[in-house]
Amino acid sequence: MDQFNDARELIAQAREALRRGDKEAAWKLGEQAALSSPDLEDAWLILTASDPNPEDALAYAQKALEVNPSSARARKAIDWAKTQVKQAAPVSADPIDDLREAAVAPAVAPIEEAPPPTPVKKSSSRAWIYVVAILGLLLCALFAVLVYRVVSQAAFTSVLEQVAFPTQESLAAPVEVAKPSVTPVEAGGLAQDAIVTPTANSTEEPAVSAPTATPTHKATEPPTEAASATPQSTETPGQLIMQPVEDTPTSEYVPPSSSAPLPEIALSGNGARWIDVDLTNQSVYAYEGDVVVNSFIVSTGTWLTPTVTGQYKIYVKYRSAKMSGPGYYLPNVPYIMYFYKGYGLHGTYWHNNFGTPMSHGCVNLRTDDAAWLYEWASVGTLVNVHY
């Protein structure tokens, strides 16, 4: 804008020089105006009127018409310059006066030419289009990422609900297990509770905790805590639908091979039922007095989480309950009979490696074997655990 104003000032001075007849000064001022603002028609008309060379004057006039194709003054200047070229004579006074009038005439009404649109606006508008497009792409990408994370999280959660992955470190760490979600099964008209002394009307579920000790003394009173067993790392949880089973043996008879003395209940001669757990041979025997009525191959605790030894009594039974802890979740564990805190006998559907220590301390039986033993034994049945 400063150059445009300077050029207009130079043109005004050149017109005054033409009025005085000073063509040389007018030409210099017109040249400066043309160099400052080449798009001004008046600058080229000043050069046309003040240049003594007709051919140069014609070129200046044509440039003025090129700048403003609709200008009548530029066309008049071209006609005048062509006439001068044809005559090849010094410019007469009259044509110069006419040209001066053509050049000076705009002074009455100042030229109000709107400056041409600058490319800045177009580039600015185009830049905004680019910015909006980039923001749209970023929003689309962010939305796609969010959708992917939601879908993948939902899929991962669904998988976790079906499968649990116990870790090796969890074998040696104490865990707290959620208590069973069903009420104890009544046996002999009484429902035994794991927290308080058994009463005929007790319906509370036991507060469970992980196995903590390995007692070797004889237990004569029901313990006050119960916990669900925690599976060994190779156990694979799944879903199980319980079906009633007949009260018949499901395993071949395996004669006892342990030299451990029989408990007093076996020698009483009254045919009382009791369970013998042989950790050395990974076997369980169902006794009536001193007679074995059934036997089973089982999996007991590993060397990191051994099964407790001693004499205990079954204090609560669950036909089906969940067992869970850090890193695993076992729904519907069948035929659970707890005999000491979180140690119990129960069915096993997540492995078939019986005869090998596999558990966190519980006695794992095949589901059919656990069902038979569950129906055969009752709350208060003696459980003798030994090597």
Q: What is the pLDDT of residues 171-222, one digit of tens each?
A: 444 444 444 444 444 433 333 333 333 333 333 344 444 454 444 444 334 4
Both 350 and 253 in a single domain? Answer: yes
Domain end position, chosen among 89, 107, 125: 107
| Residue 121, CA distances (Å) to 3, 131, 235, 367 in order | 20, 15, 71, 81
**Sheet of 343-348, strand order:** 316-325, 328-340, 343-348, 363-366
- Considering only CA atoms, which of 60, 66, 1 is closest in space to residue 31? 60
Q: What is the pLDDT of residue 101?
A: 58
pTM across the whole model:
0.39
Q: What is the pLDDT of residue 355?
A: 97
Positions of the chain with pLDDT under 70? 1, 88-125, 151-255, 257-259, 325-328
Q: Which of 61, 81, 107 is the last residue of a domain?
A: 107
Residue 174 shares a structural domain with residue 88 = no
Structure confidence by residue, pLDDT tens digits, 122-164: 456 677 888 888 988 888 888 888 878 776 665 555 544 554 4
pLDDT of residue 175: 44
Which domain covers residue 76, as residue numbers? Answer: 2-107
Q: Please tell me the predicted confidence (pLDDT) of residue 253.
A: 55
What residue has token string 């990422």?
145
Together in a domain, 218 and 366: yes
Residue 135 class from Cβ within 10 Å (0-12 exposed, 13-18 middle, 19+ buried)?
exposed
Task: Classify residue 48: in a domain, yes or no.
Answer: yes
Residue 47 lies in a domain: yes
Helices and strands in the chain, H and E counts:
10, 9
Q: Are strands 343-348 and 363-366 parallel, antiparallel or unpaired?
A: parallel
Report helix, strand or coil for 349. coil
Residue 29: CATH number of its domain: 1.25.40.10
126 inside domain: no
Whether residues 228 and 92 share a domain: the answer is: no
CB 41 within 8 A of CB 74: yes
Q: Which pLDDT score is estimated for 130? A: 84
